[in-house]
Amino acid sequence: MAGVARAVVAVPLVLVPALGVAQGGYSPDAWVWAGALAAWGAAVGVVVSAHPGALRRAWPWALASAAVAAWTILSALWSAHAAQSVLEARRAVVYVAVVLALLVLVRRESSRLIVPATHVAISLLLLYGVARYLLGGRHYDTFEGYLLHQPLGYANAVGVLATLGLLLALGIVAGTAPVRARAGAAATVPVLALALDLSESTASVLALGAGLAVLALASPATVRVLAAGAIVAPPAAVAAGLGSASQLTLVTETPRISGPVLAAAAAACALAAAALVVRLRLPAERRPGRRVRALVLAAVLVIALGGAAAVARSGATEPRASYYRVAWHDEAARHPLLGTGAGTFGLYWARSGKAVELEGALDAHSLYLETLAEIGVPGLLLVLAMLLAPLRHAIADRRLPYVPAALGAYAAFLVHAGLDWDWEMPAVVVAALCLGGALATARLADERPLGRGTRGATLAAAAVLGACSLAGVQSSTVPAAAPEKPRAPRCGALSQTPT
């Protein structure tokens, strides 16, 4: 049983780093093996055991995920570019397969392992990225400049993964795990903070603030969380401060601090963070008093106001202002019910003429607005149902190990997804889905085994998902605007071409 209970950790430990080093999983080629692996894991779980996993507890999540994929492929019927809609559905199949694998493989003993495993997966991926950046010499990229963007290929994806890792690390440090585990988590904080700084992702910093607020409010031991933050913050601040002072991200021939020197400083900060956790004792878990809660609520209010101002500022600056304007005026407002078809924002962006001035773009840089624009109100409701389904029991289960950490990190992802194109980076989404799995499966009871019919249906679903993923080998379609000779959306009175 112990081996079966640990099987679920393979989902984050295998898929997050593997997708991360494959340019974040952006390429359709990555969806073939990622979806097949997840579906295969779910199928094996059904074959070797009749244990219900979390299928009975979290079936709405699986259903909502499948509905998102189904509606996405259905949008090809009225899409302005059907091939891109089918391509979007292929990526959605990966997410459905990951959700199914999590729900099938999880056991009562394993739900608390998902958070540490996801933290390890993110930390290993970004440790590799930081080491490569600092020790491999400076290389200029046309789009990302000197920002830390590899191995994911996108600096903001590095930033949001660093944010998730920081929140998970803080939750582990503030928890009741053995001191070795807590010290190990603390050692990752300076490196992750440095990665966040070198990515210069403003949206990720905003998401970090939101996640910290949720973590502090959700935790039954707020004082312990604040104390843990006070312990790891100084080494993290030193690492991030040195990263900013180094000028490695600027277009300059002679940075103030070289990469190898910064790498040594980051390693020293990591050792210091671990040593502080070993030497200093956190306060015992207890419910925070009124004064502490008032301070936390005041901090949340400040973060919320600052976040709202940052979002408004981001939405008013280019090129995001134009992204949002095209998605709203040219797609959502003109096709309010069904949208223009999944994956068609790039087409409308190209036809808007903005690409000449602001360069090309395939995504609206907001999951929620882009979903509304491309697959309409029903699509947005389904995506929201998929993303919010893991939160059904989160508040009730917040006293269980690692639930506050998972809740804070998952909230950070939800915020960041509204400000960037996380959905198109499977490495980020799979990490978030693993956290959703931790929330959805935190409290599992010993239930009766699955019946033969249910097992057969689940196995069939896994087989279909795997087959759909593998079928992508036959496709040569890649994400593209494809502005040449597009056909107008086939939706009756809603069929208006962009102008």
Residues of the chain with pLDDT under 70: 1-5, 285-293, 296-297, 299-301, 303-316, 356, 446, 482-499
Number of domains in the chain: 1
pLDDT of residue 364: 93
DSSP, collapsed to helix, strand or coil, labels residue 46 as helix
The CA distance from 167 to 212, in Å, is: 7
Q: How many CA atoms lie within 13 A of 357 on its CB side?
A: 10
pLDDT of residue 311: 59
- Asked whether residue 163 is domain-assigned, the answer is yes
DSSP, collapsed to helix, strand or coil, labels residue 499 as coil
pLDDT of residue 491: 42
pLDDT of residue 303: 65
- Asked whether residue 499 is domain-assigned, the answer is no
Helix (H) or strand (E) holding 325: helix 320-325
CA-closest candidate to residue 20, choices 100, 170, 106, 120? 120
The CA distance from 410 to 408, in Å, is: 5
Report DSSP letters for 357-370, one per residue.
HH---SS-S-HHHH
The CA distance from 85 to 489, in Å, is: 12
In sequence order, which residues have a C-beta less than 8 Å from that of residue 164 and are 6 or more positions away?
Answer: 118, 122, 211, 409, 412, 413, 431, 432, 435
Give the domain range for residue 357: 2-494
Helix (H) or strand (E) holding 226: helix 222-246
- Asked whether residue 453 is domain-assigned, the answer is yes
* Contact (CB, 8 A) for 465 and 39: yes
* Contact (CB, 8 A) for 70 and 119: no
- Asked whether residue 416 is domain-assigned, the answer is yes
pLDDT of residue 421: 92
pLDDT of residue 262: 97
Helix axes of 28-48 and 82-105: crossing angle, nearest 10 degrees = 30
pLDDT of residue 313: 61
CA-closest candidate to residue 12, choices 468, 464, 440, 428? 428
Q: What is the pTM of this model?
A: 0.93
pLDDT of residue 495: 34
Count other C-beta atoms under 10 Å from residue 18's C-beta.
18
The CA distance from 114 to 436, in Å, is: 10
pLDDT of residue 394: 86
- Asked whether residue 16 is domain-assigned, the answer is yes
Q: Which tens digit of pLDDT belongs to each residue from 169-220?
A: 999 999 989 999 999 999 999 999 999 999 999 999 999 999 998 998 888 8
